[in-house]
Structure 1
Amino acid sequence: MKLLLTSAGISNASIRNALIELLGKPVAEASALFVPTAIYGIPNGGDIVRRVINGTLGDPFCELGWKSLGLLELTALPSIKRKLWVDMLQETDALLVGGGDCQYLTYWMQQSGLAELLPSLLHRMVYVGLSAGSMIMTRFGTSYGHHTLPADSNKSLGFVDFAIHPHLDHEWFPDNSLASIEKLAATIPVPSYAIDDQTAIKVTDVGIEVITEGHWKLFNP
């Protein structure tokens, strides 16, 4: 398994170095697919997708200098031949899963068939989550701002046995303070990672590592 679960993308050199280590080669030699689906579940989603792709919104993600970059829109997958998109995934080095509406993203991960396929891909492909794209890989409920992932097996994918609370102390989410997250974490029966936008969690078969140039805290149940 090769996961890089970020709060805001590849926001600093430490997170970028962790990505390169997982890829096993420079970003400039790696191919990536961007999954924008979750963004369409929030207001003004279409314009946000455009800005994330061209690099004018947020930290580097799509515009990181990839050798090639394609789009994988989950809502379209059930209507096209499975072999077309499965072959594309099998040739991809990194899957970039953007933020937005957690429950909408989980639903389409499952409906498209990608969630079922992921376990067979993650031994070689790197999964890079951003916010909601990271949260859905957990097994238990978490939230930030107005985005909520309930403690329901149908609402997340359950690849890791901990919760992620992104955007710690972000100005856009005034209720996302450390004190508020601590109260939420107390209701969750697994470890909870509160991470700011300069922090990511790297998960491999070897274990879990926090990559950070910012602030984070682990709450144990």
Structure 2
Amino acid sequence: MKLLLTSSGISNTSIKNALVDLLGKPIAESNALFIPTAIYPFPYGARYAWNPISGQSQSPFCQLGWKSMGLLELTALPSIEKDVWLPAVQDADALLVWGGDPLYLSYWLQQSGLADLLPSLLHKMVYVGVSAGSMAVSSTFGETYSNPRGGSGTPLMSQSILFSTPQGEISRTFVMARGAGLVDFALIPHLNNENHPDASMANAEKWAAMLPVPVYAIDDQTAIKVVGGIVEIVSEGHWRLFTP
């Protein structure tokens, strides 16, 4: 199984080199499928889904010079015959999974049937996640919400938690849920990013303490490379491992 779990995409040379290593060939010789599904529960989600496709995202993702690029929308798959969409997935060298709401993404990974297929596909294909796209592959993950969204399956647990910010304490709803089960650790992206105050180091420690699995908190210059269950940190930034 081959995964590259990032916070913000292919944000530096070390992460790009890790991707090429996992592919086993140049990006220019590799076919990719892009999954935007996780972003749709957010206001202007359709616009944000277009950003990585058009090259307007913070870090390169779809615009890395792939041999071919396709769009795979998970919410559409249950209405399509499996033998129609599966060949495109099987032909892909990389599955590029965008960020957004990990609970929503996890729900549709399972509803679409893709989650059941991934263990048999990832011996040759590379799963490349960004933010929620990285979080949703865990056996168990947690996410924080100011306003929890519906239509995303049933969480294992939901409760209020206070987080600290430079402006004072804020109340968040912490949700724990089951993911695709491809890795046995959870992930907190955007560590110490000022646009994601929930993921400050102090808040990440509170967040991780509520999960029953090891938790990696990673910043936007860090990725987690997983090959056959072996975890390697690829970083030009900062990260921390919290153990239960």
TM range (shorter): over 0.9
Tell me the SS of whatever aligns to 1:194.
strand
Runs of 4+ in 1 over 6 A off after TM superposition: none
Match of 2:214 among 172, 178, 191: 191
Mark the CA change 1:214 to 1:108 in structure 2 (over 3 Å): closer, same or farther. Answer: same
The corresponding residue for 1:2 is 2
- For the residues of structure 2 that align with 1:149 and 1:112, how far apart are their CA atoms? 26
Matched, 1:37 2:37: yes
Match of 2:225 among 202, 213, 218: 202
Tell me whether 185-194 or 10-19 shows the greater mean CA deviation.
185-194
1:123-138 equivalences in 2 (<5 Å): 123-138=123-138
In the alignment, is the contact (CA less than 8 A) between 2:106 and 2:137 conserved in 1? no
Report the CA distance between 1:157 and its aligned residue.
1.2
Residues 144 and 25 of structure 1, relative CA distance in 2, 3 Å threshold: farther
8 Å CA contact 1:145–1:173 kept in 2: the answer is no
The answer for the alignment partner of 2:14 in structure 1 is 14
Answering whether residue 176 of structure 2 is matched by residue 151 of structure 1, we say yes
Matches within 5 A, 1:155-194: 156-194=179-217
**Considering only CA atoms, is the larger Rg found in Structure 1 or Structure 2?**
2
Letter in 2 for 1:37: T
CA distance in 1 between counterparts of 2:36 and 2:128 reads 13
Please give the alpha-carbon distance, in whole angstroms, between the structure 2 residues aligned to 1:144 and 1:172: 14
Pairwise CA distance, 1:75:
1.1
Instruction: Write the distance in 1 (CA, Å) between the matches of 2:134 and 2:113.
Output: 18
Specify whether residues 149 and 62 from structure 1 end up closer, same or farther in structure 2 by C-alpha distance, changes over 3 A only.
farther
- Aligned mates of 1:211, 1:202 — CA distance in 2: 7
Q: Indicate the RMSD between aligned Cα atoms, in angstroms.
A: 1.6
Q: Structure 1 residue 66 and structure 2 residue 66: aligned?
A: yes
TM-score (norm 2): 0.86
Kindly provide the amino acid, as one letter, of the partner of residue 190 in structure 1: V
| Distance (Å, rounded) in 1 between the aligned partners of 2:92 and 2:30 | 8
Q: Which blocks of at least 5 consecutive residues in structure 1 are unaligned? A: none
> 1:152 and 1:164 mapped to 2: Cα distance?
13
Of the three residues 223, 232, 235, the one matched with 1:212 is 235
Are the structure 2 counterparts of residues 174 and 149 from structure 1 closer, same or farther at C-alpha, using a change threshold of 3 Å? Answer: closer
Q: CA deviation at 1:52?
A: 1.4
Q: Which secondary structure does the structure 2 equivalent of 1:141 belong to?
A: strand
2: CA distance between counterparts of 1:132 and 1:13? 22
Q: Output the CA distance in 2 between the equivalents of 1:2 and 1:26.
A: 16
Name stretches of at least 5 consecutive residues in structure 2 with no aligned partner: 149-172
Q: Deviations over 1:173-211 (max 9, x none)?
A: 123210111122122222110100000000111610000
Letter in 1 for 2:19: L
Q: Report the residue type matching 1:76 in the other structure.
A: A
Aligned-pair CA distance for 1:141: 2.7
AA matched with 1:205: G
- Structure 1 residues 212 and 126: CA distance shift in structure 2, 3 A: same
